[in-house]
Amino acid sequence: MKVILLGAPGSGKGTQAALISKGLNIPHISTGDIFRDNIKRGTELGLKIKAIIDAGDLCPDDLTIEIVKNRLSEPDCKNGYLLDGFPRNTYQAVALDGFAAPDRVIELAIPLEKLEHRLTGRRGCLKCKSSFHIDFIGDRKDCPHCGGELYVREDDNPTSVKERLNVYREQTAPLIEYYDSQGKLFVIDADRPIERVFDGIRKVLK
């Protein structure tokens, strides 16, 4: 099954994607993770996009599309994919329809005004990749799950968060209508605990 997870920054796409990928045994492909990995390794691509990502803007479309197209051609994608963070605008969605159109699109819906707080208080674990919110874990520096080191994403600063939410509103949110008109859209209330959201997704993907 080919599945797209659509949702604003902070809506919980990464968390749910990890659960779905495990449950359905399809590869979780996150363009954000691919970009961040390139930045960390200091590749040519990484150097090119670091400033864009830190500012909360979108990387160039054709570059991003090329990366996704290549990734989807790998053998582990032959039974489907779970895309997280792609497509992010209509141009990318039209391109994807040309080489690997999705079967279902899941929108993680949440009031946008809740997201600024979610994102600016977010902490990630370097080791197990879990993310947490300071509302729940306080200012501790070690991961409650595995003891790994916690970090703050470069683009989770207030200025970049505002920009990412603007980009979502203007460029990504129109995809909800795009996929709804194709009859592929399923809306899940993402303003609930992780397990409840996942239950909702599981029903849609049965």
The partner in contact with residue 38, picked from ligand ADP, Zn ion, none with C-beta cut-offs of 5 to 8 angstroms by kind, is none
Contact indicator for 78, 100 with CB cutoff of 8 Å? no
52 CB contacts (<8 Å, ≥6 apart)? 58, 59
17 vs 185 by CB, closer to ligand ADP: 17
- Which of 24, 59, 109, 173 lies at the binding interface for ligand ADP (CB under 6 A)? 59
Q: Which of 48, 50, 104, 153 is catalytic?
A: 153
- Which of 81, 86, 132, 179 lies at the binding interface for ligand ADP (CB under 6 A)? 86
C-alpha dist (Å) from residue 79 to 18, 183, 204? 17, 21, 18
Q: Which of 13, 36, 118, 123 is catalytic?
A: 13
In the complex, minimum distance from the CB of residue 91 to ligand ADP, in angstroms, rounded to a whole number: 10
Instruction: Please report whether residue 16 would count as binding ligand ADP according to CB under 6 A.
Output: no
187 has which bridge partners? 107
Q: E strands within 110-192?
A: 122-125, 131-133, 150-151, 185-189
The partner in contact with residue 125, picked from ligand ADP, Zn ion, none with C-beta cut-offs of 5 to 8 angstroms by kind, is Zn ion
Report the residue number whose CB is nearest to ligand ADP.
32
The partner in contact with residue 32, picked from ligand ADP, Zn ion, none with C-beta cut-offs of 5 to 8 angstroms by kind, is ligand ADP
Pairing between β-strand 122-125 and β-strand 131-133 as defined by DSSP bridges: antiparallel
Binding mask 91-120 for ligand ADP (x = CB under 6 A): -x----------------------------
Q: Tell me which DSSP letter residue 193 carries.
A: -
Q: Which of 36, 88, 118, 123 is catalytic?
A: 88
Annotated catalytic, 122?
Answer: yes
Phi, psi of 7 (to 5 degrees): 175, 160
Q: Tell me which DSSP letter residue 104 carries.
A: E
Q: Which of 2, 36, 118, 122 is catalytic?
A: 122
